[in-house]
Amino acid sequence: MRNVLVVAGGTSGIGEATALYFAKREWDVAIIGRNAVAGERIEGQLNSCGGFHSFYEADLTDPEQVTQVFGDITSRYSRLDAAFNCAGILGTPANIPDQSLAELRRVLDVNLSATFLCLQHQMRIMSAQGHGSIVNCSSIGGVVGMPGIAPYVASKHALIGLTKSAALEVAPAGVRVNCVSPGATYTPMQEKMIANDPNLEASLAQSHPLGRIARPDEIASAVFWLSASDATFVTGTNVMVDGGFSAR
């Protein structure tokens, strides 16, 4: 029987790359996202790898929709071996005195609350079956401060704490929960920022000791390692996939 992965926020960037990475390694993959056009496109790519893959359109900040989608996934696959929670937005850049409370809440809702809601269902399902691996997606912004994007940074710091607490709660059931924190990565969000600033790409590359920006599949490979049998004694940790950025 093939293993099953769910990717919450799987219709672009690192989530999309992770879904494809697992599918190419003979996992069945369910992706969840709000963009139906992108979701159906990725579902087609997944199906070309063979196996049983599906896209679910849902707003992950809506508790009722999250409950519905995990019920549907459980009914279809009857198991959940791994989950990757990577829904996220940058928010509108501004210094704290110029940020609105509404913007803070919007960023926290997508970056933190959505993962919290998904975790509730993933932890219940995996605890009942006695095994499973959950990986949350933080950022280098989850371990350092960054000016102008405080809501994003706060949300990513919070994800690491959420991961550690979740790991302790489900460890007795044989379930592992970890986090990955990517450095600058070629995602649609990053590429949009680069398009608006011709000097940004070189600056980002230079800020990482390896001297370049990551590919999404390089983050996906870390998620796969944490989810597969090689990392069975790893839980409650945050894996930096940042080209050495945080070592400075």
Domains of the chain with CATH codes: 4-185+217-241 (3.40.50.720)
pLDDT band at 231 (very low <50, low <70, confident <90, very high): very high
Tell me the pLDDT tens digit for each residue of 39-93.
Answer: 999 999 999 999 999 999 999 999 999 999 999 999 999 999 999 999 999 999 9
The answer to whether residues 19 and 42 touch, using CB atoms and an 8 Å cutoff, is yes
Active-site residue (options: 21, 77, 152, 186): 152
Nearest to residue 212, comparing CAs of 196, 223, 201?
201
Q: How far apart are the first and last CA of the chain?
A: 44
pLDDT value for 213: 93
The answer to whether residues 42 and 11 touch, using CB atoms and an 8 Å cutoff, is yes
DSSP string, 120-189: HHHHHHHHHHT-EEEEEE--GGGTS--TT-HHHHHHHHHHHHHHHHHHHHHGGGTEEEEEEEE-SB--HH
- The Cα-based distances of 245 to 87, 206, 226 in angstroms read 23, 10, 21
Q: What is the mean pLDDT of the chain?
A: 96
pLDDT value for 116: 99
Amino acid at 130: G
Q: What is the mean pLDDT of residues 209-219?
A: 96
Q: Does 98 have pLDDT greater than 90?
A: yes
> Percent of the chain at pLDDT above 70?
100
Length of the chain: 248
Active site includes 77? no
Tell me the pLDDT tens digit for each residue of 166-201.
Answer: 999 999 999 999 999 999 999 988 888 888 888 899
The answer to whether residues 160 and 142 touch, using CB atoms and an 8 Å cutoff, is yes
pLDDT value for 168: 99
Q: What is the mean pLDDT of residues 24-48?
A: 97
